[in-house]
C-alpha cells in the first residue's frame, strides 16, 4: 500500500513535532492487513507483549499477557481494548505499514502496535513521549486531541495507566478505515471505539531522552576505563584554607569527566550499537541450521532475493574516510568498497536482489553469511 496525495515536505515543515494532523484516507487502496482473530492469537503467545484493558463504569483495569484463550470468551459486553506491541515482527502485512512512513529515518522507528476495541473501548486520555501515526484499519474510532502536556500535568491515580486528570479536547475527529491521525510527542489524546471490530495501527517512533543517552554513554565509557586513570595534582601548592575545593581543582576534575565523554567518533559508534539493539533481545531469530559460504555464493550468483527480518534494526554511519559502519541488532560491521555499497543497500531496502557479482566478493559474502547466522537476514525461501 502506498500513500498518495500527501505533501511530505509540507508535513515535515508545518506539522512534524509541532501539531497534530488528520489525514483523510490518503492510500491508493486501503486494505486492513490483519484479522482480529489473528491479533487475539498473538496476544496468547509467550514472548509477545500484550495488554487487555477493560472498563467497568468509569474504572479502567489492565491485564498483561500472555492471555489465556478462554479469557476472550469471558469478556461479555463491557467495553474492552486489546493492545499488542511489535506486531510488525510477526505479521509481514503489518510490517509493510512501516514503508510509507520511512520519510522519517529508520533509526527513529520503534514498532507497530495494534489495538482491537469493542464499542466504547479505549485506554483513556493520555500522552506519549514519542511521535505516532494512528492508522484506522477497521471500524471507526473517535479521537479527541488536547493541548501539549509535560511531567507537571496532573494524572489520575492508577497502578498501571498514566491517565490525564483534567482532559479538555481542542479537536474532535471520527476516523474511518484508511484515515490517519498524526500526534506529536506530549499532545493529549483519547480514542474511543464507535461500534465493534475497531482496529487501529500505531506506528510509533523512538526519541531517546537526554537522561537515557547520558546514563548509557557514561556506563559504556566507564567499562573501558583503567583503575589507574585518576585525579592527579603534581603542581599542588599551599592554599589559605584547606577546607576549600579550589577553582583549579574543579577545572581539572571537570576536564577529566568531559574529556572522557567528548570523543564524537566513539560516541557515534556507541550510539549505532545502542540504537540498533533489538526491542526484544531475548528472542532468538537464528536459523536452526547455519548457512555455508558456498551456499551464500551460489544463492547470490543466482540472484535469489534477500529479506531483512522485520524484528531487526539496520542503520549505518558514514565516516570521513568513506568507511561505512553498519549496525545490525547490536553488532557493528566495518566495510569499504563493495561491502560498503552492500551495507547501504541493506539499510535502504527491506527486500532486495543484490548484484550477483558480489558472489565473488569475500567481504560481501562474509557479511551476508554473518547476518543470516544471527537471524537478521535470510534468502527468500530459506529458513
pLDDT band (50, 70, 90) for residue 316? very high
In the chain, the N- to C-terminal Cα span, in Å, equals 26
Architecture of domain 209-222+263-383: 3-Layer(aba) Sandwich (3.40)
- Could you give the maximum distance between any two Cα atoms of the chain, in Å? 81
pLDDT tens digit sequence for 126-171: 999 999 999 999 999 999 999 999 999 999 999 899 999 999 999 9
Is residue 122 within 8 Å of 81, Cβ to Cβ? yes
Q: What are the extents of the domains in the chain?
A: 8-205, 209-222+263-383
Q: What share of the chain is helix, strand, coil (3-state, %, to 5)?
A: 30, 25, 45
pLDDT band of residue 383 (cuts 50, 70, 90) is low
pLDDT, one tens digit per residue, over 77-133 is 889 999 999 999 999 999 999 999 999 999 999 999 999 999 999 999 999 999 999
User: 18 pLDDT exceeds 70?
Assistant: yes
For the chain, what is the mean pLDDT?
95
Least confident of 49-58, 103-112, 306-315, 366-375: 49-58
Which residues are within 8 A (CB) of 66 and not within 5 positions of it... i.e. 6 or more apart?
43, 44, 45, 46, 48, 50
pLDDT of residue 2: 79
pLDDT digits (tens, 9 = 90+) for 210-250: 999 999 999 999 999 999 999 999 999 999 999 999 999 99
Q: Per-residue pLDDT for 14 more than 60? A: yes
In contact, 97 and 134? CB cutoff 8 Å: no
Cell of 11: 508535513
What is this structure's pTM? 0.93
**Where does 8-205 sit in CATH, by number?**
2.60.120.650
Cell numbers standing for residue 132: 505516532
Summarised one tens digit per residue, pLDDT across range 23-48 is: 999 998 899 999 999 999 999 999 99
Structure confidence at residue 382 (pLDDT):
64
Nearest by Cα to 50 from 14, 90, 17, 77: 90
Amino acid at each position: 500500500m502506498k500513500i498518495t496525495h500527501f505533501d511530505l515536505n509540507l508535513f515535515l515543515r508545518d506539522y512534524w513535532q509541532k501539531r497534530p494532523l488528520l489525514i483523510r484516507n490518503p492510500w491508493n487502496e486501503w486494505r486492513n492487513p490483519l484479522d482480529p482473530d489473528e491479533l487475539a492469537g498473538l496476544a496468547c503467545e509467550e514472548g509477545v507483549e500484550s495488554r487487555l484493558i477493560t472498563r467497568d463504569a468509569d474504572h479502567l483495569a489492565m491485564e498483561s499477557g500472555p492471555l489465556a484463550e478462554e479469557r476472550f470468551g469471558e469478556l461479555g459486553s463491557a467495553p474492552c481494548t486489546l493492545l499488542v506491541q511489535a506486531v510488525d515482527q510477526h505479521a509481514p502485512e503489518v510490517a509493510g505499514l512501516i514503508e510509507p512512513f520511512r520519510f522519517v529515518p529508520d533509526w527513529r522507528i520503534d514498532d507497530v502496535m495494534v489495538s482491537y476495541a469493542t464499542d466504547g473501548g479505549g485506554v483513556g486520555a493520555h500522552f506519549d513521549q514519542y511521535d505516532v501515526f494512528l492508522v484506522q484499519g477497521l471500524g471507526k474510532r473517535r479521537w479527541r486531541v488536547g493541548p501539549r502536556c509535560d511531567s507537571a500535568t496532573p494524572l489520575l491515580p492508577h497502578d498501571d495507566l498514566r491517565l490525564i486528570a483534567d482532559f479538555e479536547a481542542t479537536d474532535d475527529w471520527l476516523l474511518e478505515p484508511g484515515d490517519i491521525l498524526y500526534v506529536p510527542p506530549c499532545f493529549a489524546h483519547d480514542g474511543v471505539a464507535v461500534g465493534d471490530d475497531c482496529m487501529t495501527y500505531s506506528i510509533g517512533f523512538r526519541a531517546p531522552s537526554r537522561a537515557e543517552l547520558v546514563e548509557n554513554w557514561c556506563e559504556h565509557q566507564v567499562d573501558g576505563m583503567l583503575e589507574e586513570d585518576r585525579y592527579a595534582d603534581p603542581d599542588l601548592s599551599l592554599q589559605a584554607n584547606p577546607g576549600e575545593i579550589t577553582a583549579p581543582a574543579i577545572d581539572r576534575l571537570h576536564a577529566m569527566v568531559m574529556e572522557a565523554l567528548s570523543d564524537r567518533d566513539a560516541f557515534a559508534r556507541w550510539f549505532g550499537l545502542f540504537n540498533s539493539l533489538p526491542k526484544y533481545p531475548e528472542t532468538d531469530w537464528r536459523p536452526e541450521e547455519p548457512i555455508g559460504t558456498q551456499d551464500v555464493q551460489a544463492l547470490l550468483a543466482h540472484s535469489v532475493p534477500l529479506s531483512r527480518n522485520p524484528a531487526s534494526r539496520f542503520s549505518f554511519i558514514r565516516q570521513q574516510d568513506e568507511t561505512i559502519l553498519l549496525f545490525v541488532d547490536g553488532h557493528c560491521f566495518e566495510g569499504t568498497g563493495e561491502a560498503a555499497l552492500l551495507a547501504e543497500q541493506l539499510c535502504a531496502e527491506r527486500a532486495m536482489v543484490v548484484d550477483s557479482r558480489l558472489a565473488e566478493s569475500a567481504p560481501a559474502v562474509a557479511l551476508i553469511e554473518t547476518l543470516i547466522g544471527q537471524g537478521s537476514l535470510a534468502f527468500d525461501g530459506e529458513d
